[in-house]
Structure 1
Amino acid sequence: MSNALTITNKGDTEIVITRQFDAPRHLVFEAMTVPALVRRWLLGPEGWSMPVCEINLSVGGHYRYEWLNADGRTMGMGGTFREIVVPERIVHTELFDEDWTGGETLCTQEFVEAGACTTLVTTVIYSSTAARDAALRSGMAGGMETGYARLDAIFAERLAKEEAQ
């Protein structure tokens, strides 16, 4: 399997996003849940920063992300954690401030380790087929892949430091 991002439809309202990382599962899980790391990679296209990244990683805990573009545009979203199994699985809700996805989505992230690699499988359930299709047309895949490429670089840097020690 290459490290390319794949997105497939599942049923009428779901998508499944799959991406492999050359890093052990605990590092991939950490990259999704530690604010200092999330701020480094979850930025989408160039020109965006994340001034707000709050994560209360507990069942019932909330998270909040706010992005700022160099031209002054902002985007925000947040949700609630429903299930956490460290380092295997996270289930959370997601709602963008501008609600372009047609309501709250339910996201499940599964971290599958094989050898020195981890496959992240994210299933997103939208409120309707129209909402799912709009998300697919939004350029989401390109933004996600840009962020995941940043994450690849973070993992490579961290693993090189660990090997040097």
Structure 2
Amino acid sequence: MSTHAHPAVEATIEADPDVPTVRIVREFDAPRELVYRAHVEPELVKQWLGPDSIGMEIDVWDMRTGGEYRYTATRDGEEIAHFYGSVHRVTPNERIVQTFGFEEMPDAVSLDTLVFHELPDGRTRLEGLSVVYDFESRAGMLASGMEVGVQEGYAALDRLLASLQGKADGA
């Protein structure tokens, strides 16, 4: 099993040696409802998702059961990647189940489940599990820069959550 773990501020990324899955776990210093909002509200998602060097143009972001999403990653004003998926089940503040597709790697579609766990002291643990068809597809996912995108994106999410909490506290 390959594991990337640093201090608690970084996500743990695990690739199961027996099943073509990737599991990502990360804790946030913010309440579960706020972490959930940052995943379903497009104006918030644009502020944190992906690596720092990539921008995001959202075409559709309908995070409800039966919804869909489609967005384009940009760098220096140029389109570099296209992502899309179907939203299968949303349980507000608890779980999102969706597909995740990458037009540039059409065979690497995953089924992703995100679970938002409420922790003591207003903290949240986010657990994500991605299941792909085969090990080759998973290897492509991992080689695509996913780890950088996850780590940098979640660091940006930390900053966004702190900012949102500051506004809520009247700071």
Give TM-score scaled by structure 1 length.
Answer: 0.91
Please tell me whether the aligned partners of residues 117 and 126 of structure 2 are also in contact (alpha carbons under 8 angstroms): yes
Write out aligned runs for 1:51-130 (5 A): 51-70=57-76, 72-99=78-105, 102-115=107-120, 116-130=122-136
Which of the residues 26, 47, 69 maps onto 1:19? 26
Check if 1:3 corresponds to 2:15. Answer: no
Check if 1:30 corresponds to 2:37. Answer: yes
Per-residue deviation, 1:71: 6.0
Give TM-score scaled by structure 2 length.
Answer: 0.88
Per-residue deviation, 1:53: 4.6
What percentage of residue pairs aligned between the two structures are identical? Answer: 31
Alpha-carbon distance between aligned partners in 2 of 1:71 and 1:65, rounded to the nearest angstrom: 14
Matched residue type, 2:63: L
Q: Indicate the RMSD between aligned Cα atoms, in angstroms.
A: 1.7
Per-residue deviation, 1:8: 0.9
Give the corresponding residue for 1:49: 55
Alpha-carbon distance between aligned partners in 2 of 1:81 and 1:30, rounded to the nearest angstrom: 15
Which of the residues 119, 139, 143 maps onto 2:145? 139
Alpha-carbon distance between aligned partners in 2 of 1:43 and 1:142, rounded to the nearest angstrom: 8
1:91-132 deviation per Cα after TM superposition (whole angstroms, max 9, x unaligned): 0011111126x3321000000010211111010001101111
Give the corresponding residue for 2:4: none
Q: Which runs of 5+ in 2 are unaligned?
A: 1-6
Please tell me whether the aligned partners of residues 35 and 53 of structure 1 are also in contact (alpha carbons under 8 angstroms): no
Per-residue deviation, 1:162: 2.0
Alpha-carbon distance between aligned partners in 2 of 1:2 and 1:58, rounded to the nearest angstrom: 30
C-alpha spacing 1:4/1:103, structure 2 compared with 1 (3 Å): closer
Per-residue deviation, 1:142: 1.2
Q: Which runs of 4+ in 1 moved over 6 A?
A: none
C-alpha spacing 1:118/1:57, structure 2 compared with 1 (3 Å): same
Please tell me whether the aligned partners of residues 39 and 53 of structure 1 are also in contact (alpha carbons under 8 angstroms): no
Q: Give the length in aligned residue pairs.
A: 163
